[in-house]
């Protein structure tokens, strides 16, 4: 066989290997076909978009919801606990333990959000009284117990203030290396929704967020930078109401409330559901690995998630009556920050999975 042909065949083989390797790397975070569902724990403050997030999780075969811990945030811990039990009862999933956790932030007064979630926390969507019974454990204890029960298998999805997660880490730091990953809804590197700087979940308990961001586990931050680019539209709510059962009708009512509030271009943001979507299908997001710190002081910036774009800080030394910059010090990134999203694909997934239920 001519040597020229051999060279061509080798080149084709090399190209094929590069192509396959590149595609493999791109999809490395996606679960292979036939793989067991990912075990997840949701920490939530239901909450309208929290309710949609829980519905998406239980109707996604890629996930196995092992527990839900409730934190005060959008609503009080008592109301959030009741709302979570109502949602699980609606979908006949009373097997999922629901544990009430922190009733207030670590160091500040709770600020609830009737404006954003309606008087009942669910955007006015009604559900029958719950048939489910709650778990007797304190929310952070449920987190600790499940991490130890499923070491290196459990992904934590916090979609409210991070108080419960911080309390769990403080009580039992040994859970940190045993957690598969943390995919949280919160933060922003491009401005806030409470004020010019801070996103609500981080603003509600900045001290807790600082503990969680610096714990040392893998974190993906699904913040306003991406959630506000994934709008649910009136046509999506109408699709949910086509041939709707009680679950789809509930989801459509919540979606319309979110659309009425706004927060996304042309529609409503369903912030917390996107964090669940990112666990189901990590290819929905584009991320950057950055150093992110939480501002815990300041008149205007308390609760801001401050990202270092360059991975360095100036190195300054004393020079007489002033300081002199003599170089740069590298800093280690700690958070995979969502900076891009396939918003339409996510909303289509959400609507499809909750339709005709």
Entry field: residues in the chain = 357
**What are phi and psi for residue 262, nearest 5 degrees?**
90, -135
Per the DSSP assignment, residues forming a β-bridge with 306 are 293
**What are phi and psi for residue 11, nearest 5 degrees?**
-65, -40
The separation between CA 72 and the C-alpha centre of its own chain, rounded to angstroms, equals 16
d(CA 301, CA 313): 20
DSSP assignment string, 178-215: G--EEEEE---SS--SSSSS--HHHHH-HHHHHHHHTS
**What are phi and psi for residue 215, nearest 5 degrees?**
-70, -30
Residue 270, helix vs strand vs coil: coil
d(CA 293, CA 306): 5
Angle between helices 48-58 and 343-354 in degrees, nearest 10: 70
CA nearest to 254, candidates 273, 226, 276? 273
Which stretch of DSSP H or E encloses residue 239? helix 234-241
Tokens of 237: 């709510």
- Backbone angle region of 301, left / alpha / beta, with phi > 0 → left and psi within -120 to 50 → alpha: alpha
Strands (E), the chain: 38-44, 63-70, 98-100, 154-158, 181-185, 219-222, 231-232, 263-264, 267-269, 285-294, 305-308, 312-319, 322-330, 335-341
Residues labelled catalytic = 271
């Amino acid at each position: 066989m001519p040597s020229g042909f051999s060279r061509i065949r080798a080149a084709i083989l090399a190209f094929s290997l590069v192509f396959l390797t590149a595609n493999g790397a791109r999809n490395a975070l996606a679960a292979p076909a036939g793989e067991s569902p990912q075990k997840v724990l949701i920490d939530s403050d239901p909450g309208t978009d929290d309710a949609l997030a829980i519905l998406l999780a239980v109707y996604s075969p890629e996930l196995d919801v092992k527990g839900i811990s409730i934190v005060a945030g959008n609503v009080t811990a008592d109301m959030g606990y009741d709302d979570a039990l109502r949602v699980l009862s609606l979908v006949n999933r009373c097997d999922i333990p629901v544990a009430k956790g922190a009733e207030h932030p670590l160091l500040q007064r709770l600020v609830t959000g009737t404006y954003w979630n309606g008087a009942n926390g669910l955007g006015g969507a009604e559900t029958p009284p719950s048939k489910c019974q709650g778990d007797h454990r304190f929310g952070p204890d449920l987190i600790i117990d499940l991490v130890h029960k499923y070491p290196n298998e459990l992904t934590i999805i916090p979609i409210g203030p991070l108080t419960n997660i911080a309390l769990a880490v403080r009580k039992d730091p040994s859970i940190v290396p045993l957690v598969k990953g943390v995919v949280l809804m919160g933060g922003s590197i491009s401005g806030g929704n409470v004020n010019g700087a801070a996103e609500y979940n981080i603003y509600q308990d900045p001290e807790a967020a600082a503990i969680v961001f610096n714990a040392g586990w893998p974190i993906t931050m699904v913040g306003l930078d991406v959630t506000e680019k994934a709008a649910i539209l009136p046509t999506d709510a109408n699709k949910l109401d086509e041939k709707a059962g009680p679950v789809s009708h509930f989801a459509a009512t919540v979606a319309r409330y979110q659309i009425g509030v706004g927060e996304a271009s042309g529609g409503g943001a369903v912030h917390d559901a996107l964090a669940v979507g990112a666990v189901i299908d990590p290819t929905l997001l584009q991320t950057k690995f950055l150093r992110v710190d939480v501002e815990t002081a300041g008149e205007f910036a308390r609760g801001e998630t401050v990202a270092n774009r360059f991975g360095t800080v100036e190195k300054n030394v004393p020079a007489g009556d002033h300081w002199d910059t003599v170089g740069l010090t590298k800093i280690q990134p700690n958070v995979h920050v969502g900076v891009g999203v396939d918003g339409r694909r996510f909303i289509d997934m959400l609507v499809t999975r909750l339709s005709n239920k």
